[in-house]
Amino acid sequence: MPADAHPSRDGVYLLRVFARRAAFRWRFLGTVTAVLVLVATLLSALAVLAASSDAGALRGGLTDTDPAATSLTVDLLRPSGSLTELDATLADTAADVLGPDIPTERFTLTESALRPVTRTGSPLVAETAVYASVGELTDAESRTSLVDGAWASDDRSVVAPEAARTVVGLAIGDELVVQTTRGDVALRISGFYRLAEASAQAPAEQWAIDPLQGGGAHIGFAKPGQRSYEPVVAIGPLLAAPGTLEARDVSAAFAETIFRPDFTAVDESALSPLRERLVDADVSFSSAVGRQATTVALTTELPQTLDAVGGGILVTRTVVAVSGVLLALLAVTALVQVARLMTESGIVDRRLMRSRGASPAQVGALVGLEAVSVAIVTALVAPGLGALVYQAMAAVPAMRAARMPATASIPLAAWLVAAGVAVVFVAIVSAPLLVRRGAEAEFDAEQDSAARAGRLAPLMRSGLDLAVIAVAVVAALQLFRLQGTVREGTLGVDPIAAVAPAIVLLGAVLLCLRLMPLVSAAAERRSRRARGAASALASWELARRARSSIAAVLLVAVTLAVGIFSVSFLDTWRQSQADQAAFAVGPPVRLVADGRAPSEQAEALAVGATSGTSPSAALRRDAVASWNDAAPSGSRVHVLGLDESARQLIDAGRLGEEGGTEIASALAPRDDADDSGEALDGIAIDDDVTWMGVTVTALPTTADPADTPTGVRATVSAITVDAAGIVTVDALGTADLDGQPHALLGPLSQPSAERTLVGLQLRFEGEPATRSLRGSRLPVSMILSDAGARSSREAAPVALDIAPLIGWAGVTSDYQAEVPTVVSAPAPSPSPAPALAVSVDLPQDLAGTGAVASLVAWEPVTALPVVVPTDQATRLGLGLAAPFVLTLGDAAIPSAVAGMAPAVPGAVEARTLVGGTAGLAATSSDGSAAGGVYLVADSESLARALAQYGAAGTLLDEWWVDVPAGSGEAYVVRQEQAANSAVSISIDGVTRSLQEGPLRIGTQAALWLTIITSAVLLAIGFGMHSAGSLRRRRLEFAQLRAVGFGRRGILSTVSIEAGVLSAIGILFGVVSGVVLAQLLGPLVSVSPTGAPPVPAVRVVLPAAPIALLIVELLVVVGAVVVAVWATQRLVEPARLLREGAPE
C-alpha cells in the first residue's frame, strides 16, 4: 500500500488513535495533567496575590497612616466677607484637588484676634488686663468635651475654656464684653469645655494655629500689638454657635480648615492624577479664595505620604516579581521532567506508527495533540484554583489583620500565567520532535549513550551555560552598582531587580554543574574498581547516563537553592524589619508625655514595666546649633535628652553597634566628675500647693539716673522639680523695674507630690537702648519678700522660707555679666517678713531676646556635654570638647562635644511611627532623622540648662519604658485604654506593622508561596525524574534479574544512584542558595521606602527550614526506593524479556 494511501494519514483515524491512547493511558495523562495544573495553580496564585496585595496595601497604607500625614490644612489670614460662602469655596476647591472619588471630612476653626474683655458687674480675677478671642469650631460637640453647662445655642452665648474659669474666675451666666475693632460685643457664658483627646474627629493639629495652642488660658501672655513685652492674661477661644462671628460683626483674625480624605476605596489609578493636582494645590486654593483673605497658606504632607506608600507598594511588587521569576525557573525545571516523562511514555506507540507508515508530522501531531489537551485543561482550571489558594492564604491571621481582601477576582495576569505555563509545557514536549524529527526524537538510552563521550548535556556542549553564567555576573554587578532593587519615582518594577536573583542563582548552579564531568569520570573509574555489583552498577550507570544525571542534579540544585534563598530571604527580611523598628523606636516602649503631673504619669506607666525599673523621662527639642566659623549662622538640629537608664536601653545589640554604645559611653558619669549632678538645698512645697507668689521690688542702680533705661521689666518664674525628677518652669508674673513693690502670683502648671522649689528664673526685657548706652552695663537690685504658697488663687498664702536662696548658685545668659548674687536684706515696708536682695548685672540694651539670670539649687550647667553625629563632626572639623551653642527657643545653651556616634537610635518621632511603615521614611541611610541631625545630651543636664537659660513649661516630652520581652504591644494597649498617653509606640508594635502591615504583608505572602512551591516542585520534579528513569530501565532490571542479580541488589543499585545524585544536588543547591543569600540578601531586603535600611541588613540562614527542605528531598528519595522495591516484587522478568517493556 502506498504511503499516501495508508489509513494512518486520515485525520479522523489520528483522532481515534488519540482517543484510544487517552482511554488506555488515562491514569498517566491524569497524573501529568494534575502535576501541570498544580504548577500553574501555584504560579497563578502569585499573580492573584500580587493584584490583591496592591489594592489592600494602597488602601490600608493610606488609611493606617497618621491622619495628619494625609490631611490638607488651609490657613486664611484675616478672612473677610461671608465666612459661610468662604467655607463652601474651600470645600469645593478641596474636592477638585482630591478628586470626586475621595470623600473628605472637614474641620474648621475660625477665631478672632485677642481683644480686651471685661465682665459686667464685677471685675475679672486677674492682676493684669484680660484679653480673649471668640471663635467658631465645626462639630464642637465631638471635638471638645463639655464639662459644665450647655453648648452655645444662639449668637449671644459662648462656652469658655475650663482653664479660664480657674485663671480669671469665670462662672456660668457671666456676661463678658469683648472690645472689638467694630464695637463692644456682649456674650454670655453658657458652659465650659476642655479639648477632647486627639482623634480622627478631634485633630490635635487644629489648635496649632490658636494663639494659646489650645491651652485655654495663659498668664503672662505678651500684650497683642505691643513692640515691647507687656504681660496680660489671655483666654480663649470663647466658642460661639456657627454664624455668630458674622452675625455679631466680629472680625476673624484667622481661619484654619483641615480636610481629611478617606482612602478606603481608592485605587491605584487615582494616585498619579492626585499627585499631579497636589503640585499646584496651593495655587488652586489661593485663586479660589482671591481677595477674601489677606494670606492663603496650604500645608500638607500628603505628597510625601503618597510617595512613602508608593515606595512600600513598589518594594512589595519587587519582591513579588523576584518570587515570580524564581517560581518560573522552578516551574521550567519541573516541566522539563514532566515533558520528558510524557515523551518517553509514548515511545512504543510512536515507533509502531512509524513502522505502519506514519509520517514524522503525524507522529508529531499526535504528541502535540496530547500536550495541547493537557495544556488546555491547565489553562482553564489553574487560574480559578489559584484564586482559591489565595483565599486560603488570606484566611491566615496575619493576612486578616492586614485587612487583605478575603476574596479576589481572577486578574488577567493569572490567566496569562496559566496560559504561559501551558505554552511552555507544549514547547518543551514538542521541541525534540522539531529538532530531531520523528521517531528519532526520543529521550532514550541511545541518546544518553551518544552523549557519554563528552559527558556534557547539550546546554553545556553548546556553551550556553557559560553565557548564562556571564549574564549572571553582569546582573549581580548591576545590583551592587545600584545598591538595591527599588528605583524611586515610579511604581514600576525594575526588570533587573526582578530577574537578577533568578539569573544569578541559575548561573551559580550551572557553574557547579561544570564539575559534573569530573563526577562522571570519577564514577566510571569507581565502577572499574568497585567490589560489590550494586555499587559498580550504580557508578557505571551514573557515568553512562551523564545527561540524565546532570538533569537530575540541575533539578535538585535549582529547587533547593530557590528554597534556601527564599527561607533565608524571608528570615533576613523579617529580622531587618525588626532591626529597623528597634532603631527607629529606641526603647522597648516610647510614650509622648501628656498634660498631667509627671509624677502621676510616671507612677501609672510603671505598672507593667520590667521589674526593678521605672519610666525614664526624655526630652526631644528642635534647636539651632552655632558650631564654629565653618557654620557661623547655625544649622537646624534636634536634641534628644536621655537619662542614664534610657541610654542603657540603647546600649545593647544592634542599637549599641549603631551608636548606642558610643552615646552611653560619652555621657556616662566620670569617676573624677564633681558633684554637679547633686542637688543643693531646695525649698519643699506642700502637695496641695497650686499657686505661688512673691513680692518683687526692683530698681536699676546706675550712678547717673539719666543713664537708666525705661521700660525694663523682669518676669519671675519658679523652677521646681517633682518626685519623678521632672523640672518645671512656671511664670509667677512680671514686675517693672521702677522701685515699687509688685505682688506677683502665678499658678503651678503641674501640681504634684513631693515638689521642691529649686530655682528662680529672672528674664529681663525692655525697650531698645540709645546708641550712647549700647555696650555699657546695667546693675539691678531686686528685693524678694512675702514669698508664699496657696492651695488656690483665693486661698490665704502660706509663707515660704526663702532663706536657702542665699546658698544657691547664680548663672546668667550674658557671658560678659557678673553672676547673680543673693544676700539678706531688710524687708520693704510694711512687710515684716525677711527679704532677700538679688544683684543682677545686665546689658543696657535689652531689645530682642533680653537677658536671663537664674538662681539654682544645683551646680550651674556651663558647658552641656553633647554627643554629635560622626559625619557632622567630620564635616565641620569638630573634635572632642569643641565648644558650640545650642539655641532651644529662648534658651541659648553653651555646649561642648562630649563624643561622637554614627547614628542615634530612637531618633524618629513617635507620631510618624504610629501609622505603621510610612514613618520610617524619616530615617535616612546615615542614621539621622530626615529634616535635621540629632544630638544627644543627658536629660537632667539638658533640663537644668534649659531652666537656667530661659526655657518655660514642663521640661518633659517623652517617657522611655523597659518592658518584658514580647509584652510591648499589650503594654501600649493598656496605657492607651487608661488614657496615659495620646501617642505611644513599642518595638513589638512597629515590628509587627513593618512585617505584617498592609504595605508589607504581601512581601511575606509572596515568600511563603515561593517556599511552598519550591518544596512541592522539588518533590514533583525529582519524583518525575525517578519515575522516568525507572520506566526506561524496566527491561534492564529484568535482564539483571534473569542473570541472577536479585531484587535486593537492584534496590541497592537504585538507592546508591539516587543517594549520589541527591547528595550532589544538595551540595550544589546549598552552596548556590547560601551564596545567593549572602550576596543578594542585603540588596533585596530594603527599607519600606526602598532605600538601604538602617541598620544594615545581616543575612540570616535559618538552619531548621533548610534542614527541612533537605529532609523532604531525602523522603522523596526514600519513596523512590520503596517504589522500586514494590515494583520489583510484582515484575515477572521472563514475561518482560519475551514481550518487551510495555508503556
* Per-residue model confidence as pLDDT tens digits over 951-967: 888 899 999 999 999 89
Which residue among 251, 275, 302 closes a domain? 302
State the CB neighbour count (10 A cutoff) for residue 100: 8
Summarised one tens digit per residue, pLDDT across range 701-715 is 765 655 556 678 888
Return the HEC string of 380-444.
HHHHHHHHHHHHHHHCCHHHHHCCCCCCCCCCHHHHHHHHHHHHHHHHHHHHHHHHHCHHHCCCC
Q: Can you list the positions of beta strands (E) in 18-156?
A: 72-77, 104-111, 115-119, 130-137, 144-149
**Does residue 554 have a pLDDT over 70?**
yes
CB contact at 8 A, 849 and 890: yes
Sequence-separated (6 or more) residues with CB below 8 Å from residue 918: 61, 65, 69, 305, 308, 309, 312, 912, 999, 1088
Q: What is the pLDDT of residue 645?
A: 93
Ranges 42-46, 268-272, 316-320, 537-541: which has the least confidence: 537-541
671 and 690 belong to one structural domain: no
Strand 713-721 relative to strand 727-736: parallel, antiparallel, unpaired?
antiparallel
**pLDDT computed for residue 202 by the predictor:** 46
Q: What is the pLDDT, as a whole number, of residue 445? A: 42
Judge whether 1017 and 335 are in contact, CB under 8 Å.
no
More confident residue, 1038 or 177: 177
Highest mean pLDDT: which range of 283-297, 547-561, 705-719: 283-297
870, 908: one domain: yes
Can you tell me the distance from the alpha carbon of 590 to that of 229, in angstroms, rounded to the nearest whole number? 38
CA-to-CA distance for 433 and 439, rounded, in angstroms? 8
544 and 461 assigned to the same domain: yes
What pLDDT score does 441 carry? 43
Of the candidates 460, 468, 462, the one whose C-alpha atom is nearest the C-alpha of residue 506 is 468
* Helix or strand run (H / E) with residue 946: helix 939-948
Residue 491: CB atoms within 10 Å: 14
Nearest to 797 by CA among 647, 872, 695: 695
Supply 1134's cell numbers: 521472563
Using the predicted structure, report yes or no on whether residue 244 has a pLDDT greater than 70: yes
Q: Which residues pair with 716 in a beta bridge?
A: 733, 762
List the grid coordinates of 258.
483641615
Is residue 896 scored above 90 in pLDDT? yes
- Whether residue 575 lies inside any domain: the answer is yes
Higher pLDDT, 730 or 1131: 730
Name the residue with higher pLDDT: 1039 or 212.
212
359: left (phi over 0), alpha (psi -120 to 50) or beta: beta
Which one-letter DSSP state was computed for residue 923?
A: B
Shared domain check, 937 and 1013: no
At 1006, the pLDDT band (50, 70, 90 cuts) reads: confident
d(CA 363, CA 354): 8
Task: Flag the least confident range among 169-183, 604-618, 840-854.
Answer: 840-854
Which whole number is the average pLDDT over 908-919?
68
* Rounded average pLDDT over 399-413: 85
Kind of pairing, strands 958-961 and 589-592? antiparallel
d(CA 784, CA 796): 19
For position 1053, what pLDDT does the model report? 73
Give yes or no: residues 274 and 179 share one domain: yes
Q: Are residues 474 and 376 in the same domain?
A: yes
Asked if residue 1130 has pLDDT above 60, the reply is: no
Domain boundary among 833, 856, 879: 856
What is the spatial distance between Cα 557 and Cα 551, in angstroms, rounded to a whole number? 10
- Averaging pLDDT over each range in 567-576, 935-944, 946-955, which range is the top one? 935-944
Distances (CA, A) of 1021 to 39, 443, 974, 1030: 11, 17, 52, 14
Q: Please name which of 751, 718, 789 lies closest in space to residue 599, comparing C-alpha atoms.
A: 751
Whether pLDDT at 930 is above 80: no
What's the mean per-residue pLDDT of the chain? 80
> Does residue 38 sit within a domain?
yes
Q: What pLDDT score was predicted for residue 1083? A: 72
Residue 76 placed within a domain: yes
| Domain final residue, candidates 242, 277, 302 | 302
For position 457, what pLDDT does the model report?
54
Q: What is the pLDDT of residue 117?
A: 94
Three-state SS sequence of 562-612: HHHHHHHHHHHHHHHHHHHHHHHHCCCEEEECCCCCHHHHHHHHCCCCCCC
* Whether residues 524 and 450 fall in one domain: yes
Report the Cα 323 to chain-centroid distance in Å. 23
**CA 698 → CA 635, 808, 836, distances in Å?**
38, 20, 12
Residue 584 CA to residue 930 CA, distance in Å, equals: 12
The mean pLDDT of 131-150, rounded to a whole number, is 88
| Ranges 358-362, 578-582, 1054-1058: which has the least confidence | 358-362
Give me the DSSP letters along 170-192: --TT-EEEEEETTEEEEEEEEEE
pLDDT at 205 exceeding the cut of 50: yes
Of the candidate ranges 70-74, 442-446, 819-823, 859-863, the one whose mean pLDDT is the lowest? 442-446
Which of the four pLDDT bands, split at 50, 70 and 90, describes residue 181?
confident
Average pLDDT rounded to a whole number, residues 414-429: 90
**For the chain, what percent of residues have pLDDT higher than 90?**
22
Residue 114 C-alpha cell reads as 485677642
- Residues 485-520 have pLDDT tens digits of 555 555 566 677 777 788 887 777 777 777 766 666
| First-to-final CA distance of the chain | 29
384-388, 606-610, 922-926: range with lowest mean pLDDT: 922-926
How far apart CA 505 and CA 329 sit, in angstroms, is 10
Are 285 and 327 within one domain? no
Which range among 532-536, 797-801, 947-951, 1004-1008 shows the weakest confidence by mean pLDDT? 532-536
Low-confidence winner among 379-393, 489-503, 549-563 (lowest mean pLDDT): 489-503
Least confident of 69-78, 537-546, 685-694, 963-972: 537-546
The SS3 assignment for 1000 reads coil
Residue 219 pLDDT exceeds 70:
yes
Do residues 354 and 3 touch, judged by C-beta distance below 8 A? Answer: no
Residue 261 backbone phi and psi in degrees, to 5: -75, 150
Provide the pLDDT for residue 151: 93
pLDDT for the residue 738: 82
The pLDDT > 70 percentage for the chain reads: 77
Position 511 scores a pLDDT of 77
Residue 770 burial (10 A CB sphere; 0-12, 13-18, 19+): exposed
Write out the residue range of the structural domain in which residue 1052 sits: 3-59+308-581+998-1139
- Are 890 and 691 in contact by the 8 Å Cβ rule? The answer is no
Q: Is residue 410 part of a domain?
A: yes
pLDDT at 458 over 70: no
Q: Region 110-132: what's the mean pLDDT?
A: 87
Sign of CA dihedral 855, 857, 858, 859: positive
| Alpha-carbon separation of residue 626 from 179, 787, 849 (angstroms) | 44, 39, 17
Backbone angle region of 537, left / alpha / beta, with phi > 0 → left and psi within -120 to 50 → alpha: alpha
Whether residue 380 is contained in a domain is answered as yes
Tell me the C-alpha distance between 310 and 200, whole Å: 23
* Contact assessment for residue 145 and residue 200, using Cβ atoms and an 8 Å cutoff: no
Confidence bin at 446 (pLDDT 50/70/90): very low
The answer to whether 874 and 846 are in contact (CB under 8 A) is: no
Q: Residue 1: pLDDT above 60?
A: no
Q: Could you tell me if 233 and 374 lie in one domain?
A: no
Distance CA(1143)–CA(1004), nearest Å, equals 44
How is residue 909 written as a grid cell?
518621632
**Burial of 828 per CB tally in 10 Å (0-12, 13-18, 19+):** middle
Rounded to the nearest 10 degrees, the angle between the axes of helix 1047-1084 and helix 1001-1032 is 160
Helix (H) or strand (E) holding 888: strand 883-888
User: Which is more confident, 460 or 191?
Assistant: 191
Domain count, the chain: 4
When mean pLDDT is compared across 25-29, 416-420, 919-923, the lowest value belongs to 919-923
Closest alpha carbon to 782 in 735, 744, 850, 829: 735
* Stretch 261-287: mean pLDDT: 87
Q: Which three cell numbers stand for residue 493?
A: 518594577
Cα–Cα distance, 356 to 361 (Å, whole number): 14
Confidence of residue 897 (pLDDT cuts 50, 70, 90): very high
Handedness of CA 122, 126, 129, 131 (dihedral sign): negative
**Within this chain, do residues 764 and 705 fall inside the same structural domain, yes or no?**
yes
Decide if 666 is inside a domain.
Answer: yes
pLDDT tens string 986-1003: 999 898 888 888 888 888
Spatial contact of 601 and 956, defined as CB atoms under 8 Å apart: no
Nearest Cα residue to 729 out of 589, 890, 503, 862: 890
pLDDT at 919: 47
Instruction: Read off φ and ψ for residue 195, nearest 5 degrees.
Output: -70, 140
Contact 1058, 1025 (CB under 8 A): no
Dist CA 145 CA 917 (whole Å): 32
Verify that 338 and 261 share a domain, yes or no: no
Residues 908 and 780 in one domain: no
Range in 176-180, 248-252, 604-608, 1132-1136 the model is least confident about: 1132-1136
> What is the C-alpha separation between 999 and 314, in angstroms, rounded?
9
Query: Using an 8 Å Cβ cutoff, are 341 and 1028 in contact?
Result: yes
Predicted confidence band of residue 316 (pLDDT cuts 50, 70, 90): confident
